[in-house]
Amino acid sequence: MNQFTHFNDEGHARMVDVSDKQVTARTAVAVSSIAVNDLIYEQIIHQTNRKGDVLAVAQVAGIMAAKDTSRIIPMCHPLALSGIDINFRWETQDTYILHIECTVKTKGLTGVEMEALTGASVTALTIYDMTKAADKGMIIGPTYLVHKSGGKSGDFNR
């Protein structure tokens, strides 16, 4: 018998069968960040970027990405998400770092960690895309899971 969960006995890729799992409330919180220069920080907080409201567009992009995670991550199950929330927090001590937190919720057979990670990542990538004319030297990351609840494996807290 095959020991890999995402390969069948013939060695071909498969999506894991979750039909025997229990439907539970599931939540995942992931974060990412993007370090920007003074000009980009000023453009974002004063909404003077020529492409428009950077954070509003990035927030919508992150929500859309979380919803479409199964289309871009091959073995993710398509999920009916019940909630997605993306929040921002600036750290402005020596540098300008925008922290992005993406929370995803569902009631289902499998977790939403990948959806939260994808949402946080695409939010950061969209900020980069909208502001790269001012500086291409921005740094994205780290991106990681902060919390997950629900399901057979229980809760995880970083």
Going by C-beta distance under 8 Å and a sequence separation of 6 or more, which residues neighbour residue 98? 33, 34, 35, 36, 44, 88, 89, 90, 91, 127
- Catalytic residue, chosen from 17, 20, 129, 155, is 129
**Can you tell me the distance from the alpha carbon of 26 to that of 130, in angstroms, rounded to the nearest whole number?**
32
The HSE-up count of residue 35 (CA atoms within 13 Å, CB side) is 8
Measured distance between the N- and C-terminal CA atoms of the chain, rounded to whole angstroms: 34
Q: Which residue has the tokens 């919180």?
A: 29
Q: Is 9 in the active site?
A: no
Active site residues: 129
